[in-house]
Structure formats: structure tokens, C-alpha cells
Amino acid sequence: MTRILFIELLGGLGDVLIALPAIQALAASHAPAHVTVLTFAPGDQLLAHHPLVQQVWTAAPGQARLAVAKVLQHSFDLVVTDTTYDGIADLVAQSSAGRTVTNLWRSPPAEQLVSDRMLQILQAESLVTPEAAQAHRHPRLYLSEAEQTSVQTQLASMPRPRIGLYADAGMAIKQWSPDRFVALGKLLQHRYDAHLVVPVGASLEQAQTIADPLETAALWPRGSLRELAALFAQLDCVVAGDTGPARIAAAVGTPTITLFGPSWAGRYGQPAPHYNLQGYPPCSERNIANFTEQPCWYSGTCPFPWDTCVSLIAPEAVADAVGKVLGAWERGSVGAWERGSVGALASGSVGAWERESVDKHGLDKAQPSPPTRPPIHPPTHPPIHPSTHPPIHPPTHLPAYPSTHLPTHPPTWPATRNLLLLRPDNIGDVLMTAPALRAIKETQPETRVTLLASPAGSLAAAVLPWVDEVITHRTLWQALDRPPGDLEQEWQLIETLKARQFDGAIALTSFKQSPHPAAFICQMASIPLRLGASKETGECLTHRLANLPDDLHQVDRNLRLVEAAGYQVRDRHLSLAIPTSPHIPAQPYLLLNPWTSCPSRMYDLERFAIAARTLAETTNWPVVVTGTDKNRAAAEPLLATLGLHAIDLIGKTTLSDLVALVAKAQLLLSNNTSTMHIADATQTPSVILFAGTELERQWQPRQTRAHLLRRPTPCNPCYAFTCPYAMECLDIPPTEVVTAALSLLGT
């Protein structure tokens, strides 16, 4: 193969470096092939001067698919991509390239690094040799002599050891706080006579807060990524959060201690000789398969009492890890690194690091205290040169994978003109079908979409503009409380569906529900195409998606299903039509909807009232209280507590009114119920009392700013209708609700 294209458009700076070993190994396995990489800025800077990459194309933000289409106009013998969104995998598969690999982002085991998984897959595809995989396991960033000399000159007078403290991270949930960095810096100065460098990231104030209390700490001004890389190459260790700069440090060969929070170190960490420290490994909300579906990822806040699980990593544990890095020099192991260096390599020892025992969470099994203030005088960094690294041992057989993450049951789902979607559940469940409905209409605008929903769920159709017709039916198989007991009504439903002459039906379900009863009804109604997600086989479904994870978010579960039918998803966000309403107050207001259909998900009304009143007094905004007529009696004490702060709209609004009210509110207070999903669609800041009945990652807001409050309990998730434990999971004082709300309001 003489021309190779690698498409890396996952969007993160770190993603480029995760994919770089695969790029390097492909180039080395097909020398002297011409290798082109398509990626985003500023990650493209990291590939400059790389001897194995001949050309870099840069995609503009929001133009990924267009950039792929443009570059594929050129001729390639091999195209490899780790990117599948926006139909990019389909573009690659349909290209004129002689060979394609359309998804390198195939979920590795929990304790396998993603970068290793990519190499493993390419070996199984016979595209990378074992020797190339071994030699290029580490990403390599190459610096010019001028780039290195500039920093060497500036640091010439700084004694060693030099340790970098990089505090910035793109998300607050991934940041180790400045006070912990200060505590670490003091430990490093006391134990190792360390000289500290604090690079400025997005916030000069943050960096100054760390550097000012630390003697012998130098503030390093913000520059380009390559200037940062040149700095890291002159340091003896870098401590950073799980962010791109940590990977840059490793890619120039500087030993790195990376602090992990939401993402899993066993999958996204860096290979030895680097240390990966995991915050709160036993977190019940952790989703190793996809950390972006965790509650903290969307809300930006941890659902537990601490700000972020990264804060649970103690400065002493980090200092111990740094001591092990510095101790490698004292063991006289520089030669091992010089015989096998990584990019612009730092001194150290692969063998020495490998002998250190690190458990699956990246925490030392036996953490001996390093000697106090050892006389460490490490050598300078060796020059850039290629090398070999610890071997990767792929399995002898790698199972076959489809070209995308959406395997479908044959035959192919054809275009439909008259489509039935079945979601006979609650209002919130129907609201979360919005992105799937939108994808269907955008892909095939001529398709007539009919929604089969429960009496309550049917109300949601008023804000779902992609629905042409609604069939309201309280189905026998999905009764919300007890079966209706009248089989005749199911025969009537079959006759109704048969008369509509649908040519396809999609049964949308949660992971606990089966699509087979709905599919059976559709089969009886002579609907020829029937799609559902199910691990069980059966003749009722003509098309079956079998491998959806149980903990997938409900919106994504719906989208995966329609994607399997061939509908193109442009936007995965939840959105609704926002109507007008005569009930919108003229002044800014808070909105309180404290009701749920399930008692085990309902926060104490008196506490809700106290929190809402306190917020009203603090902000000088009234509190709009919504609900239905059946909530009237229970609402009286709540309204009495709110007094003149309340605007009582209980029983006075439709669902359309409620959507309009949520959209205009400054803040929503609610439980895990339909209003939470409305606020997510309208991007209204929300404080949600999220009981332990469900897993947050299956239902939580995905795009609005939100705080989800819950006490961790061993019974989570219980899926119970009533709680036998006095609602311990929602034992949240009103003051905590107020604090969460004010943080969202910025006051």
C-alpha cells in the first residue's frame, strides 16, 4: 500500500494522541507509504515534524463530514477511521479506496487501553505487523532543535528535579483543585527539593493561585501546544488531570502522573512508564463503556457530596508516585531509556517502571514512603530518536466486527411511507423519542409518522412536530399500574392498525421492556416490517437490534434503533417545539414542579417548599408552581409555605403551557420526571432531586446545566414504585437544594 489516509475527528486533543500509535504502526508496516492524517486544529500541530506522517489535512469545526468527503476525492489504497458520526463511516466504506477500516473505536475491555485496542484490531486486520505494534505503542511527538533550544535556554538556571504542575482541564469535573496542587507542591519541595513549573492554561488566575504560595515555583506563560510540548520535554515529571496536555507530556517522553475522574484510567490512561491515578474507583454511577453517558459528564457536577471524584486523590498519593519517577534515576536505569526512547524522551527506565506493581485502578498496591529529600540529580534529556517499547500481546483470534457500531438483523430495512412508532408509556418516555422522530423525518420527509401512545403519553405529541397522527391506547402489555383486563380492546387495536395499512413499525422500549408484545400486535395487524431492541429472538420482530447496553441513555437507545433502520441522525440532542402560553409571567421567575407519578421518586414537599421560598427571597423572583388537578389537595401546605412568593398554576395549564413555562424559567426545581426532560430540551438550568430508583446515566439531562441530588444507597437502582427505606436516597436538606440552585444561577 502506497497511500494511506487516517481520519481522526473525535474532537478531543487527547484523541489525536490516543490514535497516534495506530498511525505510526500503519506507516511503519507499509514503509515507504505516504501517510495523510485528517484531524481538527489544534491537534494538527502535534503531527508537525513527524517522520512517519507526510501530510496533515485540517477539518473546520462543524464541517467534519464535508472535510471527509473532500479528502476522499483523492486516491488512497487504505483508509482507516476512528470516527463514525455524521455518516463518516459510510462515506469511507463507499469510497474508492482499495481497503477500509471504518471503526477503530470498538469498545476495549475495561482494563485495556484504547490505544492498545486500536493496534490490536489493526493486527487482526493484518494491516499492522506485531513488530510495528511493539515499536510504536507510545505516541511520539517530535520537536525541532530550535523548539528545544528555546526552552533549554530559559530553564538553564533552574536546578533539577523540575516538576510541572498543569492544573487546567476543559471541564471542571476533571480538575484537581488549586489547593490540592499547592499541597502537592509543598510536599514535592519538602521531600525532593523539587523546582516547580506551573504552566498557564485557560486561566491565569488559576495558575497564579498555585504558583504564588510555592517557593521556587515558576509561572510559565501560555503559548502554542508545541511550545508547551517543548517545555514538558525539559521537565523530569508532569502532574496533570485527564486532559490533552498530560498526553503531550507523555508523547515527548516525560514521565507523567495523570489524575482521572469521570473517565476510567484502565481504558483511557497511558501505558507504563506513566502513572494513572483513579478518583473514587467504586463509583456506582461510573460507566466504563462510555463515560460521556455518566450523570456528571452532562451536568458538569458530581451526584455525590464532593465536587468531583478527582478531589478524592490525595496529594500524598500523587507525591508518592512522583517519588517513584524520581527514584528511577537513582537506580541508575537511564541506559534502558537511552536504548529505547520515545519521541523527545525524558530520562528514566522502562524496566524499572514495569517492576512497580500497579493495581487495576492505577493505585500502588504497596505504596512505600520514598526517602525524605533524597539527593536526586537526574541527567539531561537524551536526543530524539526512534525506538522499541514493551510488546503488545494480542489474542490469537479477534472476533469479527461490523463496519459501524449499529449491527442490524437482515434483511435491510427499506424505505417506508407509512410508519408506526409505538411508545405506550409515560409523558417523559414519549418526550425522549423526539431526536429519533426528528431523524426519521429529516431522512425521509415524505414518511407519514403515527405515534401509538398511552393516554398520558399522547399529550406529548403537541410538542413533537414530527408526528403526523396519534393513536391513543392503554395497552394490555404496558399498563402503568395494573392490566386493564379487557382483551377485546387489543383486538380493536389490531383492527385499527390493520385499517391504517402501515408498512413498518418500530417498537421503542427501555432496557427493562420487551418489544415482542408490541411486535406481535403489529404482526397480527399485517404490518410487514417490525423493528425492536431485544436480546431475545422471536418471529414477531423482522428486524432486531440485539446488543444495546442496558445502561444506555434512553435518548441514545431510541436513536440507535432508528439508526439501525438506516435513518441518518444529524442531531442527538433532545428538542421540542416551544409553544406560546398566556400563563408566562412578565417578570423573571423560578418554576417548581414537585410531583411524580411514582411515590419512590418524590422529594418531600415541605423541603421543596422551604428551598423554593429561600430562593425566592434571595433572588426576589416569584415561584411558579405547576401540577394537575389531582395535586391540588397535596399542594395546599406547600403553597402556604411559599405564601406571596407563589404563582399558583396547578390544574390551570396544558402540557404545551408547561413546556413554554419551563423554557422561560430562570431555573427549574423538580424530581426525576417529565419536567426534567422538558428542561433538558429547552436548556433550562435545573436542580433535580433524583431518587435511587433509576441509574442517572439512563435518564439524566444531557445538554442543559443541571445538579442531580441524591444520597448514595446500596439499593440503587431499585426500580421500585414505593420505597421501604423512608426515602433515604432523597434525604437532602433544603439548604443543599438552595446551594445547588444558586451555583447554577451564578449568585
> With 50 as the cut, is the pLDDT of residue 410 above it?
no
Q: How, if at all, do strands 686-689 and 667-671 pair?
A: parallel
What are 315-324's pLDDT values in tens digits? 999 999 999 9
DSSP summary character for residue 59: E
pLDDT of the residue at 482: 52
Q: Rounded to an integer, what distance in angstroms lies between the CA atom of residue 617 and that of residue 651?
A: 25
| pLDDT band, residue 546 (cuts 50/70/90) | confident
Give the contacts of 163 (CB within 8 A, at least 6 positions apart). Answer: 188, 192, 194, 195, 196, 197, 235, 236, 237, 238, 239, 322
The answer to whether residue 550 scores a pLDDT higher than 60 is yes
DSSP 8-state symbol, 659: H
d(CA 63, CA 68): 9
In the chain, what are the domains?
3-135 (3.40.50.2000), 145-355 (3.40.50.2000), 418-564 (3.40.50.2000), 590-745 (3.40.50.2000)
Q: Return the bridge partners of 418, or none.
A: 448
More confident of the two residues 374 and 658: 658
The size of the chain, in residues, is 747
pLDDT at 331 over 80: no
Q: 722 versus 106: which is more confidently predicted?
A: 722
> Which of 702, 705, 704, 706 is closest to 689 using CA atoms?
706
**What gap in Å lies between CA 345 and CA 363, rounded to an integer?**
24
Residue among 415, 416, 422, 442 at smallest CA distance from 502: 416
Mean pLDDT (the chain, rounded)? 86
> Over 70: is that where the pLDDT of 386 sits?
no
Decide if pLDDT at 383 tops 70: no
Residue 401: per-residue pLDDT: 26
Helical packing angle, 225-233 and 145-154, nearest 10°: 60
- Alpha-carbon separation of residue 97 from 58, 67, 94, 119 (angstroms): 20, 16, 8, 21
- Confidence bin at 479 (pLDDT 50/70/90): low
Q: Supply 300's cell numbers.
A: 458538569
Q: Are 234 and 381 in contact (CB under 8 A)?
A: yes
- The letter for the amino acid at 97 is A
Show the cell assigned to 603: 422529594
Q: Which range, of 235-244, 409-418, 555-564, averages the lowest pLDDT? A: 409-418
The pLDDT assigned to 170 comes to 80
CA distance 245 to 134: 24
Query: Which residues have CB under 8 Å from 219's CB, separation 6+?
Result: 198, 200, 207, 208, 211
Q: Kindly report which listed range (287-291, 498-502, 674-678) carries the lowest average pLDDT score.
A: 287-291
pLDDT at 406 over 80: no
**Which pLDDT does position 12 carry in this prediction?**
86
Q: Distance (Å, rounded) from C-alpha 256 to C-alpha 709?
A: 34
**Got the DSSP string for 285-299?**
T--SS-GGGSHHHHH
**pLDDT tens digits for 280-304?**
898 888 888 888 788 888 778 888 8
Query: 596: helix, coil or strand?
Result: coil
Please check whether residue 22 is in contact with residue 118, taking contact to mean a CB–CB distance below 8 angstroms: yes
699 in Cβ contact with 672 (< 8 Å): yes
Cell of 274: 506513566
Residue 486 pLDDT: 66
pLDDT of residue 305: 79
390 pLDDT tier (thresholds 50, 70, 90): very low
> Does the pLDDT of residue 398 top 50, yes or no?
no
Q: Which is more confident, 398 or 113?
A: 113
Query: Which residues have CB under 8 Å from 289's CB, separation 6+?
Result: 107, 549, 551
Q: In the predicted model, is pLDDT for residue 747 greater than 80?
A: no
pLDDT band at 361 (very low <50, low <70, confident <90, very high): very low
Q: Per residue in 636-653, pLDDT tens?
A: 999 999 999 999 999 999
Q: Which helix (H) or strand (E) holds 706?
A: strand 706-709
Would you place residue 376 in the very low, low, confident or very high pLDDT band (cuts 50, 70, 90)? Answer: very low
DSSP 8-state secondary structure symbol assigned to residue 702: S
The order of strands in the sheet holding 543-545 is 469-472, 448-453, 418-423, 504-507, 530-533, 543-545
Q: Of 4-13, 115-124, 393-402, 414-423, which gets the smallest average pLDDT?
A: 393-402
Strand blocks (E) in 454-576: 469-472, 504-507, 530-533, 543-545
Cell numbers that stand for 467 in this block:
408526528
DSSP string, 388-434: --SPP---S------SSS----SS-----SEEEEEE-S-HHHHHTTH
Which has the closest alpha carbon to 185: 161, 149, 169?
161
